[in-house]
Structure 1
Amino acid sequence: MKQKQTLFLVEVAVFSALAYLLDLFSGFLFSRIWPQGGSVSIAMVPVFLMAFRWGIKGGVLTGFLFGLLQFILGMSQIYHPVQGILDYLVAFALLGLAGLFAAQVKASMQDGNKNKWMAFVIAGTFIGSALRFISHFLSGWIFFGSYAPKGQSAWLYSFIYNGTYMLPSMILSAIVVILVISAAPSRMVQFADVSKKTM
């Protein structure tokens, strides 16, 4: 058990750092398109993988550390403390709720039902991404309404702004997560008992 706990902590640290590096790269590419933050990225993939491998605890902790790295290492766009918390700590921690489907993903994989586990992965990825989007949307509506074009409401501006990068990021992430799990299915089911306990 102690060995599994150590592995859990190591994977949380490694996957959080990987998510940050992926986001850092995409941020450089897309900073001119979304100047107030956000980018089309597969940075959510490590968080989703941890969520499906270890459950909610693994996903939320990885997402939180990913957001914290952005928060403290200078790549964040922080204009107000509450906005910073919503856009980074809360938004990325919510990705980990994809782990709601961790047990179903693993059970489907153990049963050899590929279509079923893929459907659960897509559902988890959608829920995690949707919750992250809501957090960004609220932040944009409250704190970035002044950037809205003349005649456009703040909520609509936030919806469009955040939706233009969140939707493609969600689709890309779901595809990559499925490809990664397909390439190493045994790694996902290795700690099925642990994932149930960490949920």
Structure 2
Amino acid sequence: MQNHRLLVLVEGAIIVAFAMALNYIPHTVGVSAIEVQFGLIPFGVYAMRRGLLPTLAAGLVWGLLDMFLRGIPGGSVLNATQGILEYPIAFTVVGLGGIFAANFQHALKRGRKGSAAVLLVLAVTVSGVAKYFFHFIAGIVFWGSYAPKGQPVWLYSLIVNGGSAVASILLAAVVLVVLLQIAPRLYVPER
């Protein structure tokens, strides 16, 4: 039992490190603030391997690391409330995709890759929508001054954060489903 916990913890640390490394790849699309979050890919794998609680914990660590290594030094943290909302909270909820892990593992064991793929896409959609919901709220409350003159703040936040969510979810879903087809063992947890 102790070895199992250690294995889950080590996997989580590797996933967080991988997601952080991916954050250093340029990921802003065009002249807008639309960003593709590559970290949803390793978190999608981890969520399906380990489930809800380990992925939520890993997301919290990822959010804290991103805040201290990129957010604060990059000027993306305006105040404590905004920083907590857009980093620890928004990154933690990426773990919500883990609610589909048991059904995903069941489908995978039964050889139903189609059902597993649907669950995988559903999981990454829930994760991405949850993350960008908090960015959307922060965009309205804290980043409204960046909205073009005459454009409602909520619409500006929806365009930027909704566009980021759609781009991130689509990329992650495609990559995760391809990985499921070519390397299904990646999703099977070691016991």
Q: Give the TM-score normalised by the residue count of structure 1.
A: 0.87
Deviations 1:47-68 (Å, cap 9, x if unpaired)? Answer: 1211111000121112111111
- How far apart are residue 154 of structure 1 and its match? 1.0
Supply the distance in 1 between the matched residues of 2:143 and 2:189 (Cα, whole angstroms): 44
Supply the distance in 2 between the matched residues of 1:160 and 1:114 (Cα, whole angstroms): 34
Secondary structure of 1:73 counterpart:
helix
Q: Which residue of 2 aligns with 1:161?
A: 160
- Mapped contact 1:110–1:189 kept (Cα < 8 A): no
Secondary structure of 1:25 counterpart:
coil
Which amino acid in the other structure matches residue 66 of structure 1?
W
- How far apart are residue 136 of structure 1 and its match? 0.4
| Structure 1 residue runs of 4 or more that deviate by more than 6 Å after TM superposition | none
- How far apart are residue 31 of structure 1 and its match? 9.1
Question: In 2 relative to 1, CA 74–42 (structure 1 residues): closer, same or farther, beyond 3 Å?
Answer: closer
Question: In 2 relative to 1, CA 66–32 (structure 1 residues): closer, same or farther, beyond 3 Å?
Answer: farther
- Mapped contact 2:71–2:77 kept (Cα < 8 A): no
Which amino acid in the other structure matches residue 100 of structure 1?
I
Secondary structure of 1:101 counterpart:
helix
Which amino acid in the other structure matches residue 18 of structure 2?
L
Q: What are the ranges of 5 or more consecutive residues in structure 2 without an aligned counterpart? A: none
Residues 4-153 of structure 1 correspond to what in structure 2 (within 5 A)?
4-27=4-27, 33-34=32-33, 39-76=35-72, 77-153=76-152
Question: In 2 relative to 1, CA 58–180 (structure 1 residues): closer, same or farther, beyond 3 Å?
Answer: farther
Q: Give the TM-score normalised by the residue count of structure 2.
A: 0.91
- How far apart are residue 188 of structure 1 and its match? 2.3
- Mapped contact 2:47–2:101 kept (Cα < 8 A): yes
- How far apart are residue 189 of structure 1 and its match? 3.0
Which amino acid in the other structure matches residue 141 of structure 2?
I
- Mapped contact 1:52–1:59 kept (Cα < 8 A): no
- Percent identity between the aligned chains? 32
Q: Which residue of 2 aligns with 1:182?
A: 181
- How far apart are residue 30 of structure 1 and its match? 5.2
- How far apart are residue 75 of structure 1 and its match? 4.0
- How far apart are residue 187 of structure 1 and its match? 4.1
Supply the distance in 2 between the matched residues of 1:20 and 1:114 (Cα, whole angstroms): 29
Supply the distance in 1 between the matched residues of 2:5 and 2:91 (Cα, whole angstroms): 22
- Mapped contact 1:15–1:47 kept (Cα < 8 A): yes
Deviations 1:23-82 (Å, cap 9, x if unpaired)? Answer: 11134x659642xxx622322111121111100012111211111111111345101111
Question: In 2 relative to 1, CA 132–41 (structure 1 residues): closer, same or farther, beyond 3 Å?
Answer: closer
Secondary structure of 1:107 counterpart:
helix
Secondary structure of 2:35 counterpart:
coil
Question: In 2 relative to 1, CA 50–190 (structure 1 residues): closer, same or farther, beyond 3 Å?
Answer: closer
Q: What are the ranges of 5 or more consecutive residues in structure 1 without an aligned counterpart? A: 195-199
Secondary structure of 2:5 counterpart:
helix
Secondary structure of 1:49 counterpart:
helix
Question: In 2 relative to 1, CA 3–31 (structure 1 residues): closer, same or farther, beyond 3 Å?
Answer: farther
Count how many residue pairs are aligned between Structure 1 and Structure 2. Answer: 188
Supply the distance in 2 between the matched residues of 1:184 and 1:168 (Cα, whole angstroms): 24
Which amino acid in the other structure matches residue 26 of structure 1?
P
Which amino acid in the other structure matches residue 108 of structure 1?
A
